[in-house]
Amino acid sequence: MKVLHKIAWLLVVIGGLNWLLVGLFSWDVGMIFGGQGAIISKIVYILVGLSAIYLIFGCKKCSCKMGKGSKMEEPPQMPEGEKPQM
């Protein structure tokens, strides 16, 4: 499961960087594989989308602390009247 999570994370990062390149330079990484119409490009786009869905809904099962199922700990509180040390 941990390997699947890492692969999904990597694909989502690649997809995010692709959108950055599209936004800044109007250049799509999929052009390397023959453009958006090429089968390999479609497969990569589908895998990136499925990875995003996996991270949204499957992250509560892992230890990344980013999913809906994670419980964020509150920072420790200072006792009243005590000043933080610097």
- Lowest pLDDT segment from 18-22, 31-35, 69-73: 69-73
pLDDT of residue 48: 93
The structure's pTM equals 0.63
**How far is the C-alpha of 72 from the C-alpha of 16, rounded, in Å?**
25
pLDDT of residue 70: 46
Exposed e or buried b for every residue in 46-65, given b needs 16+ CB within 10 A? ebbeebeebbeebbeebeee
Is the pLDDT assigned to residue 83 strictly greater than 60? yes
20: buried, middle or exposed (CB in 10 Å: 19+, 13-18, 0-12)? exposed
